[in-house]
């Protein structure tokens, strides 16, 4: 299936899926981060009480993570020029002919670069993307085999055009990474933890940015830009354009809620890693992207990931006799490698998810 046609196999696949309704009632919480810019989070290694001026903000973050798993932030400190520059670069790159884009196509060895639904034989997601890491190069396991300790360096594949593409991408990634650490510290405080409790996990991080392009779809009632899923990462920081299309599954009633665009805001969602670290106090929530029959859509998620050697498990401070650990620990690098490998070949086992590590009580 190419991005310009909808074949019969795809139609059959989608027609047999349920068609959840979209509710216009309610939207994800909107949080103003300006108090954070006026009073930065504390730097003390053991300080757990939010400083004056941040208590209300921490309470908002706690409620949003607990009740929704999603929230939106404004006055976040990321310069608007960084977003505008990378948005322009993305539009110019995706406008190139397919043969040019595929010069930097990702493969089973290097998961970075360009791919589309035709390239990966993915008949479910109507989009094309370009991935690049924040740390360059990034280190991940060579194999998903638990007994194989070999590592590999993965390097970004930058196209020749647009000429300033790589610079725009790198500057944007560094700007959003600063926001990611601020949000991580707010989440730590909301869990009654020291603000920098999570920070060491992200040294030599495997964080990456994805440029998404959703072309107009001739049969939007049959396709999704991205099927329903949860993010395996720690946090996702999403910039979307004014076309919209992101739906979040509301925890209170299971209905799909459309997240309406607000210029220069960011949409934040808790990923599987924070769910495990918090021992289910915060939950990674299902979401999807719907396509448009007339307009193309662009979005830019930043996936905040720890280092490959991080062992993910419930934090000791959040485990007790009354609330024991709900997950066995797992290695993030092996998890990441397994997820990426499944994009290119059918694995002998079900695609790995955090529920595979859930303990039976």
- For residue 81, count other CB atoms closer than 10 A to its CB: 11
Cα 288 to Cα 247: distance, rounded to the nearest angstrom: 5
Domain parsing of the chain, residue ranges? 8-357
Asked if pLDDT for residue 350 goes beyond 80, the answer is no
What's the pLDDT score for residue 45? 47
Consecutive H or E run containing 111: none
- CB-based burial of residue 124 (10 Å sphere; 0-12 exposed, 13-18 middle, 19+ buried)? middle
pLDDT, tens digit (0-9, with 9 covering 90-100), for 218-263: 776 666 678 889 999 999 999 999 998 999 999 999 999 999 999 9
What's the pLDDT score for residue 27? 85
**Degrees (nearest 5) of the Cα angle 263, 266, 270?**
155
CB 130 within 8 A of CB 211: yes
Beta-bridge mates of residue 173: none
Asked if pLDDT for residue 50 goes beyond 90, the answer is no
pTM: predicted TM-score of the whole model, two decimal places: 0.89
Cα 223 to Cα 6: distance, rounded to the nearest angstrom: 9
- Choose among 209, 207, 168: nearest CA to 184: 207
Q: Which two tokens stand for residue 276?
A: 């495990």
Backbone angles phi, psi at 351, to 5 degrees: -55, 130
Residue 292 CB-half CA count within 13 A: 14
Cα 345 to Cα 141: distance, rounded to the nearest angstrom: 18
CB 334 within 8 A of CB 144: yes
Beta-bridge mates of residue 113: 131
What's the pLDDT score for residue 225? 72
What's the pLDDT score for residue 119? 54
Asked if pLDDT for residue 310 goes beyond 70, the answer is yes
Q: Which CATH architecture has domain 8-357?
A: Sandwich (2.60)
What's the pLDDT score for residue 341? 72
What's the pLDDT score for residue 361? 63
> What Å distances lie between residue 336 and 72, 250, 259, 279, 358, CA to CA?
26, 27, 28, 20, 18
What's the pLDDT score for residue 37? 81
What's the pLDDT score for residue 340? 77
Q: Which two tokens stand for residue 235?
A: 């946090």
pLDDT, tens digit (0-9, with 9 covering 90-100), for 97-153: 999 999 999 988 899 999 986 654 444 578 999 999 999 999 999 998 888 999 999
What's the pLDDT score for residue 241? 94
Percentage of the chain beyond pLDDT 70 is 82
What integer best gives the mean pLDDT of the chain? 87
Higher pLDDT, 69 or 48: 69
Cα 236 to Cα 125: distance, rounded to the nearest angstrom: 19
> What Å distances lie between residue 201 and 181, 185, 314, 322, CA to CA?
11, 13, 13, 27
Cα 207 to Cα 194: distance, rounded to the nearest angstrom: 22
pLDDT, tens digit (0-9, with 9 covering 90-100), for 259-298: 999 999 999 999 999 999 999 999 999 999 988 888 999 9
pLDDT, tens digit (0-9, with 9 covering 90-100), for 169-191: 999 999 999 999 999 999 999 99
- CB-based burial of residue 100 (10 Å sphere; 0-12 exposed, 13-18 middle, 19+ buried)? middle
Mean pLDDT of 150-179: 97
Q: Looking at beta carbons, which pairs linking 190-194 to residues 24 or more positions away fall under 8 Å?
A: 190/58, 190/59, 190/61, 190/62, 190/65, 191/62, 191/278, 191/281, 191/282, 191/318, 192/48, 192/317, 193/48, 193/315, 193/317, 193/318, 194/44, 194/45, 194/46, 194/47, 194/48
């Amino acid at each position: 299936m190419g991005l310009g046609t909808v074949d019969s196999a795809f139609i059959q696949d989608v027609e047999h899926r349920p068609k959840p309704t979209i509710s216009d009632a309610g939207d994800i919480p909107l949080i103003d981060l300006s108090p954070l810019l006026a009073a930065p989070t504390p730097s003390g290694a053991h300080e757990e009480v939010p400083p004056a001026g941040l208590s209300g903000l921490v309470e908002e973050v706690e409620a949003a993570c607990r009740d929704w798993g999603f929230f939106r932030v404004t006055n976040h400190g990321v310069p608007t020029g960084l977003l505008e520059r990378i948005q322009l670069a993305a539009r110019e790159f995706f406008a190139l002919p397919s043969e040019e884009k595929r010069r930097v196509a990702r493969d089973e060895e290097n998961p970075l670069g360009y791919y589309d639904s035709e390239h990966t034989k993915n008949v479910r997601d109507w989009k094309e993307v370009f991935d690049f890491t924040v740390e360059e190069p990034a280190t991940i396991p060579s194999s998903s085999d638990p007994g194989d300790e070999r590592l590999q360096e993965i390097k970004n594949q930058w196209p020749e055009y647009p000429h300033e593409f790589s610079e725009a991408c790198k500057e944007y990634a560094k700007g959003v990474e600063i926001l990611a650490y601020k949000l991580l510290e707010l989440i730590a405080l909301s869990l009654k933890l020291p603000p920098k409790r999570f920070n060491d996990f992200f040294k030599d991080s495997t964080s990456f940015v994805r440029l998404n392009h959703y072309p107009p779809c001739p049969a939007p009632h049959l396709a999704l830009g991205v099927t329903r899923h949860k993010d395996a990462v720690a946090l996702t920081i999403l910039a979307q354009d004014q076309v919209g299309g992101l739906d979040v599954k509301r925890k209170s009633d299971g209905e799909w809620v459309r997240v309406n665009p607000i210029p220069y805001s960011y949409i934040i969602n808790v990923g599987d890693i924070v769910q495990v670290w918090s021992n289910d106090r915060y939950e990674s929530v299902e979401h999807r992207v719907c396509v448009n029959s007339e307009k193309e859509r662009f979005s830019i998620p930043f996936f905040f990931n720890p280092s490959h050697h991080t062992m993910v498990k419930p934090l000791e401070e959040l485990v007790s006799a009354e609330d024991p650990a709900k997950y066995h620990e797992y290695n993030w690098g092996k998890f990441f490698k397994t997820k990426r490998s499944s994009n290119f070949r059918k694995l002998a086992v079900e695609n790995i998810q955090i529920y595979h590590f859930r303990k039976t009580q």
